[in-house]
Amino acid sequence: MSEPLRLAERLSDIQPSATVAITQRARELRAEGVDVLSFSMGEPDFDTPAHIREAAKAAIDAGATRYTAARGTLELREAICKVSAERRGGHAHDPAEVVVGVGAKHILFNLALALFDPGDEVIVPAPYWVSYPEQVRMAGATPVVVETHVDEGFLLTPSALEDAVTSKTKALILCSPSNPTGSAYRASDLEAIAAVARKHRFWIIVDEIYAQLVYEGFDQRSILEIAPDLRDRIILVDGVSKTYAMTGWRIGWMLGPKQVAKACDTLQGQETSNAAAVSQAASRAALLGSQAPVEQMRKAFEERRDVMVDGLNAIDGIDCRVPEGAFYAFPSVRGLLGRRAGKLTLDDDLAVAKFFLETARCAVVPGTAFGAPGFMRLSYAAGTETLRAGLSRIAEAVRTLA
């Protein structure tokens, strides 16, 4: 037998998505008949609101079945500009500054290809969303991971940012509210970041896909409103997946300088062309139609957050800060390390996640996947009954530890 043909070198350094892998493992266990509760996936459990589904059905009959402009229909880009200005203190974009892609993940990947060269450094605060460093690497650039701390709300501090900047820094990627921590930057935090950015020259990519999901009246602000003078290097990433329970429709977008939008448009024209026409029509209906379902879902997430955080904090060895937004709890499990389950010693968060899956039959994602060993991500995008059942399984499993 001859040696198998070689894959591209590019892949040797790329990690598969841990969140997708764990969710898949939970699915497999379920298929084997094991009753596993999954807290691993970043996906609302709600259905897409009815008026959006209806608009999509009507759009198919009205002919939304063909190619559109690669960067998305003008109608959708206009709706994005209108709603973005309303949500971001009146700071408006032009449709020529918008590109719609196949989800925010696709948009972020295109931005990496459009902006980063080998040798460039891209600052990524940890805990990070799993795809940021991998996408930077796929573009041949180097992610510079900057640790943040739970006692500072997992926020990048201006001094940590300043220390990370070099002459090679090409961009900073911020996520607020954050996946995986749920932490969100206040206006004063963003002002402090902007003050450092003003002293240097790098792109500021801000993933605001969870911006509509904030709790207890948190004053969610975009860096664009805080530092409009940096508009020519701020790139906002947003989408419908989380806000409107539309993960499967695959629509996300960027708003940023025209030259960046043009570059992403060029890439997309050779890569995927447009995102599905019917999904674009549905997204337009989502943005322009009633926002009442969004508020209902937001309220439900807020209640679930409290159930999840209180339940976790009631377990000996687990310590969870209250997140401001998104739908993730990100507790420390350092208090469990060193404890033993039979022959297995819980040496790290990976072992704890394995123990939770096998003993408590709950799928969670170890913090190591997000660059934060000693922590764990649990999504509370699940019904309260499921949350309570999972929490009591975990509490019970923890009680058996020696």
- Is 371 a binder of ligand PLP (CB under 6 A)? no
**Near ligand PLP by CB under 6 A: residue from 44, 49, 72, 103:** 103
Shortest distance in whole angstroms from residue 397 CB to ligand PLP: 27
d(CA 68, CA 76): 11
- Is 207 a binder of ligand PLP (CB under 6 A)? yes
- Is 184 a binder of ligand PLP (CB under 6 A)? no
Of 122 and 351, which CB lies nearer to ligand PLP in the complex structure?
122
- Is 17 a binder of ligand PLP (CB under 6 A)? no
Shortest distance in whole angstroms from residue 7 CB to ligand PLP: 25
The footprint of ligand PLP on residues 238-257 (CB under 6 A) is 239, 241, 247, 252
Tokens of 394: 């975990």
d(CA 261, CA 96): 7
Shortest distance in whole angstroms from residue 169 CB to ligand PLP: 21
Of 193 and 360, which CB lies nearer to ligand PLP in the complex structure?
193
- Is 274 a binder of ligand PLP (CB under 6 A)? no
Q: What is the 3-state secondary structure (H, E, C) of 126-185?
A: ECCCCHHHHHHHHCCCEEEEEECCHHHCCCCCHHHHHHHCCCCEEEEEEECCCCCCCCCC
d(CA 254, CA 208): 10
d(CA 186, CA 361): 37
- Is 42 a binder of ligand PLP (CB under 6 A)? yes
Size of the site for ligand PLP (CB under 6 A): 13
Shortest distance in whole angstroms from residue 22 CB to ligand PLP: 13
> Could you tell me if 227 and 241 are in contact, meaning their C-beta atoms sit under 8 angstroms apart?
no
Of 20 and 322, which CB lies nearer to ligand PLP in the complex structure?
20
**Near ligand PLP by CB under 6 A: residue from 39, 109, 116, 129:** 129
Task: Give the list of residues 6+ apart from residue 365 with CB closer than 8 angstroms, or none.
Answer: 18, 19, 22, 40, 180, 353, 376, 377, 378
Angle at 131 between CA 262 and CA 222, to 5 degrees: 60
- Is 143 a binder of ligand PLP (CB under 6 A)? no
Which value, to the nearest 10 degrees, does the dihedral of the CA atoms of residues 151, 156, 160, 165 take?
Answer: 170
> Could you tell me if 170 and 141 are in contact, meaning their C-beta atoms sit under 8 angstroms apart?
yes
Q: 205, 199, 243, 196: which is closest to 224 by C-alpha? A: 205
Give the interface segment with ligand PLP, choosing from 60-68, 97-105, 139-147, 152-160 (CB under 6 A).
Answer: 97-105
Of 108 and 318, which CB lies nearer to ligand PLP in the complex structure?
108
Residues of this chain that bind ligand PLP (CB under 6 A):
42, 103-105, 129, 175, 179, 207, 209, 239, 241, 247, 252
